[in-house]
Amino acid sequence: MAKERKLVTFDWALKRLFRSKVNYDVLEDLLSALLKRAIKILGPLESEGNKEHKEDKFNRVALIVQTTEGEKIIIEFQASDEGDHLKRVKYGEAKVVTESIETRGVYAIIPKIISVSILFFDLGKGKDYIYKRQEDYYGVHNNERLELSALEQRAYETNKLYPSDVLPESYLINIPRFDENGTDMKDHIDQWIYFLKTEEVKPEFKSKGLERAEEVLSYMKLSPKDKSDYNAYEMAKSSQKSHLASARDLGEIAGEERGIAKGIHEMILNMHEMGISKDLIAQSAKMPLETVEKILASS
């Protein structure tokens, strides 16, 4: 008997449930746990980046939100490995910057951009499961951290003291590296990552945000239409995974066959150089004499 589904997946929730104002508190709790400060979401950004694109339908899901402090946060869910993911992060940041500057044409109003990648594959080499990129400037000769001048602070905001307060920052959350059995989950963000990996909220987790996440993601509480849409999405996602796996297997088989063919080709050439007759080469290679002659003639 199939196990009863309890929660919908986080990627589908990003596509549907978390775009609604009534569910902002769930994302606010996740972001506050990660960024170590209170986050209040104003709403999804009216952005080209928030539109669903056909090529990203299952493998990648992103939601761009704006905070009450004017920051723009890109929350991205990446299902499978992409060798150029870091450049995708930079592209996403640049796109939000471009869309911001096009509306006003003043550089000072470009918002602080924070990119959060929830990755279900291991990116890079390392042992940690959360990595942070924050940009600052340091003296080449004395390693002094550059501060913003009074004029620059006034141009941005008075509470901006360093370039890193203005420039983009990004976080990589490597879900597979998180040990849900061995990690001491006292930290709020660890509990969130446990939830993202297992789709389970432990009774000892005290976070109201996680309680709300469990409630929002409850499959049984979805409307009939949302249940139907979710089931169709998951079936399509499984079908896509199956197609990708089949394509990969066929590619490996083709590669092996090409490797075998290349090995036989080299063996025939080597035997010919050793003075072995074409008839004996054909017998050894288990192929017609005409094929051996064609291989020798083309080399």
- Label residue 246 exposed, middle or buried (CB < 10 Å: 0-12, 13-18, 19+): exposed
Higher-confidence position of 160 and 66: 66
Q: What sections of the chain are H helices per DSSP?
A: 10-15, 24-35, 85-104, 150-155, 188-198, 208-216, 224-273, 278-285, 289-298
| Domain of residue 146, residue span | 10-221
Q: What is the CATH number of the domain that holds 286?
A: 1.10.10
Q: What is the pLDDT of residues 106-133, one digit of tens each?
A: 676 788 899 999 998 888 888 899 999 9
pLDDT (tens digit per residue) in 56-78: 555 677 889 999 888 899 998 88
Whether the predicted model's global pTM rises above the 0.85 cut: no
- Provide the pLDDT confidence category of residue 168 given band limits of 50, 70 and 90: very high
The pLDDT tens digits for 126-136 are 889 999 999 99
150 shares its domain with 44: yes
**Starting at the edge strand that comes first in sequence, how are the strands of the sheet with 72-78 ordered?**
41-44, 60-67, 72-78, 113-119, 169-174, 130-134
275 and 132 belong to one structural domain: no
Kindly state the average pLDDT of the residues 226-234: 78
- Confidence at residue 255, expressed as pLDDT on a 0 to 100 scale: 56
pLDDT of residue 2: 43
Cβ within 8 Å of residue 13, ≥6 positions away:
216, 217
133-149 tens-digit pLDDT: 999 999 999 999 999 99
Both 217 and 252 in one domain: the answer is no
Residue 65 to residue 41: CA distance in whole angstroms: 7
Give the strand pairing for 41-44 and 72-78.
unpaired
| Same-domain status, 210 and 86 | yes
In a domain, 1, yes or no: no
8 A C-beta contact, residue 62 and residue 14: yes
- Number of domains composing the chain: 2
**Distance from C-alpha of 272 to C-alpha of 249, rounded to nearest angstrom:** 35
pLDDT computed for residue 55 by the predictor: 47
> Which tens digits make up the pLDDT trace of 237-258?
666 555 555 555 555 555 555 6
